[in-house]
Amino acid sequence: MNLLFRSARILDPLSPFHQQVLDVWVENGVIRKIGENLPAAPAGQEIRAQGLSLSPGWLDLRVHAKDPGYEAKEDLYSLRRAAVAGGFTEIVLLPNTKPVAQTKESLGYFRRFSEEQVVTFLPAAALTLGCDGKDFTEMLDLHHAGAAAYTDGEHPVWNADILLKSLQYLAQVNGLLIQRPEEPTLTVHGQMHEGTVSTLLGMRGIPAMAEELVIQRDLRLLEYAVETFDLRPRLHFSLVSTGRSVQMIREAKAKGLPVTCDTAAHYLAFTDGDLVSFDTNLKVMPPFRPASEIDALRAGLLDGTIDALVSDHYPQDAESKNLEFDLAEFGISSLETTFATALTYGNLGLEKVLELFTTRPRAVLGRTPVTIAEGQIANLTVFNPEEEWTVTPADWKSKGRNTPFFGKTLKGRVLGIVNQGKSTFYHVKLGV
């Protein structure tokens, strides 16, 4: 691989070239030279594009792999293409596959696939056997096998004793426990946010309290582990969606508790009022909340309470979505639109969005920061933050077409990525 980016704006606060428009030469996966009017790279390709921008590669903390077991919805090849189209060089895969990712061999399946690929798969291991919350997996073995984190993925860890003991075990190896905060007995048969709109539509609601009770409980358990056992376990809440949740985590951080959290970009784009269309592509868990909750999420993102934006990419096939609303499955296929959704609807500013895709999620995982500097390994996302584009089925890479964005115009176009000595571009012409 030999690439020369011409007149690219470098967006990386950790780089000495931050906000400068320069040429960047990448050879054999390493950034060799950064400067003005660099000579043409021998036997290489030049990338020129209006608004060309480079940032450290983006990392997504929450992706449903579906493969193995549900390859009709997504396989690893289509997942890789979707990640490239979304600008992600690294993605954390949830363990809710068939079989569940709870052994060294299952983690190796993902790692072997991505070793020679442009997208790095970071498999999270199941916290409990079968992700059913009843018994522990071999967490220490999974740690040595390279588990990126430990989670029951789309399922909450409902058993308080299991969660507390897991925090104690994982503290010994600095492992990250990712919790999806939901009290399942309060969400049974729920379809959307419990409120005025659900009443008007005649749909069973999912109360905000179902999320907030678990966060309240788990923060108390985390505090107990810290104070009683003198441990520093790391707890991460995924997909917070209410203002009360954000406030509780904000207060816990102020007390010094080792807690982080994320939310999905699409929670900034839709409210429960949008479900009057009965579009099953808007059926997600947790559900879309009222506009006041979006304001609280935005405040949490801006003040650093929320550490990352994720895709919560959840591909479904047509048979799972083309149904009556109450029968349809939850989830949005969202890898390809996450950045543009955040930029278009978030009102956060470009630098904050990039921070939530680069330095902050890597800090959550405890990974080494990525930067754009001479001699550094090239882990880059290439994009035009100003370009507007219309989401169309013709350009869609994921097998899952369950997106509410088809036909919508978004701001911020991903052009490609560079990672692991390889590169893939979809929306830019390569020249010599």
The region, left, alpha or beta by phi > 0 then psi within -120 to 50, assigned to residue 307 is alpha
Q: What percent of the chain has pLDDT over 70?
A: 99
Domain-embedded: residue 302 = yes
Do residue 142 and residue 264 come from a single domain?
Answer: yes
Do residue 157 and residue 170 come from a single domain?
Answer: yes
Residues 6+ apart with CB under 8 A from 178: 61, 124, 149, 150, 151, 236, 237, 238
Do residue 40 and residue 69 come from a single domain?
Answer: no
Do residue 422 and residue 292 come from a single domain?
Answer: no
Domain-embedded: residue 46 = yes
Domain-embedded: residue 370 = no
Domain containing residue 166: CATH number: 3.20.20.140
| Res 430: pLDDT | 66
* Cα within 13 Å of Cα(156), Cβ side: 24
Do residue 272 and residue 361 come from a single domain?
Answer: yes
Domain-embedded: residue 418 = yes
Do residue 18 and residue 83 come from a single domain?
Answer: no
The mean pLDDT value for 161-166 works out to 97
Q: Which domain holds residue 392?
A: 2-53+376-431
On the question of pLDDT at 209 being above 60, the answer is: yes
Domain-embedded: residue 281 = yes
Q: So which residues are the catalytic ones? A: 312
Alpha carbons 51 and 345: distance in angstroms, whole number: 20
Do residue 260 and residue 382 come from a single domain?
Answer: no
Q: How confident is the model over 340-376, as pLDDT tens digits?
A: 999 999 999 999 999 999 999 999 999 999 999 999 9
Do residue 73 and residue 165 come from a single domain?
Answer: yes
Contact of 410 with 337, CB cutoff 8 Å: yes
Q: Which of 343, 365, 387 is where one domain is finished? A: 365
Beta-carbon count within 10 A of 18 CB: 15
Q: How confident is the model over 402-422, as pLDDT tens digits?
A: 999 999 999 999 999 999 999
Band of pLDDT at residue 39, cut at 50, 70 and 90: very high
On the question of pLDDT at 432 being above 60, the answer is: no
Domain-embedded: residue 419 = yes
Do residue 267 and residue 390 come from a single domain?
Answer: no
- Cα 316 to chain centroid distance, Å, stands at 17
Do residue 47 and residue 64 come from a single domain?
Answer: no
The mean pLDDT value for 268-295 works out to 98
Q: How many domains does one find in the chain?
A: 2
Q: What percent of the chain has pLDDT over 90?
A: 97
Alpha carbons 25 and 323: distance in angstroms, whole number: 50
Do residue 8 and residue 132 come from a single domain?
Answer: no
Instruction: Map tokens 């950045």 to a residue.
Output: 339
Helix, strand or coil for residue 79?
helix
pTM of this prediction exceeds 0.85: yes
| Res 431: pLDDT | 60
Do residue 284 and residue 353 come from a single domain?
Answer: yes
Note if the bond before 99 is cis, omega within 30 degrees. yes
Q: Which of 365, 396, 421 is where one domain is finished? A: 365
Domain-embedded: residue 89 = yes
Domain containing residue 30: CATH number: 2.30.40.10
Sign of CA dihedral 294, 296, 300, 303: positive
Q: Which of 315, 341, 365 is where one domain is finished? A: 365
